Amino acid sequence: MPVEHLRRVHEHGDDGTVLPDCAKVYLPPPAGRFGMIFRAIKAEGRPLLAYLAFGVRHHPRSSRRPTVYQLAHQRLHGQPPRR
């Protein structure tokens, strides 16, 4: 994945998600329906991107299915985001 495809995730999302130090890619690029979320970490003194989630970026408003951002939040915090 080219580095220029990475985009910063807003730390505090409108949907109640909290995703500090996270980046995303849209699949397929440049603005696909799906996304992957990564968290920037340091391991053995090197910066790395740790995979958090893959899924649909945005569902229709009537959907109850979680977005990729909500999945990443749950993986990071152990619980769904509070709205």
> What are the pLDDT digits (tens) for 26-62?
999 999 999 999 999 999 999 999 999 999 999 998 9
Query: Mean pLDDT across the stretch 12-27?
Result: 96
b/e per residue 21-31 (b: at least 16 CB within 10 A): ebbbbbbeeee
Tokens read off for 6: 């990475």
| Residue 35, domain member (yes or no) | yes
| Residue 18, domain member (yes or no) | yes
| Residue 32, domain member (yes or no) | yes
| Residue 13, domain member (yes or no) | yes
| Residue 83, domain member (yes or no) | no
| Residue 23, domain member (yes or no) | yes
Q: What is the pTM of this model?
A: 0.92
How many Cβ atoms sit within 10 Å of the Cβ of residue 9? 22
Number of structural domains the chain divides into:
1
| Residue 63, domain member (yes or no) | yes
Range of the domain at 33: 3-77
**Distance between CA 30 and CA 7 in Å, rounded?**
11
Assign 3 a pLDDT band (cuts: 50, 70, 90).
confident
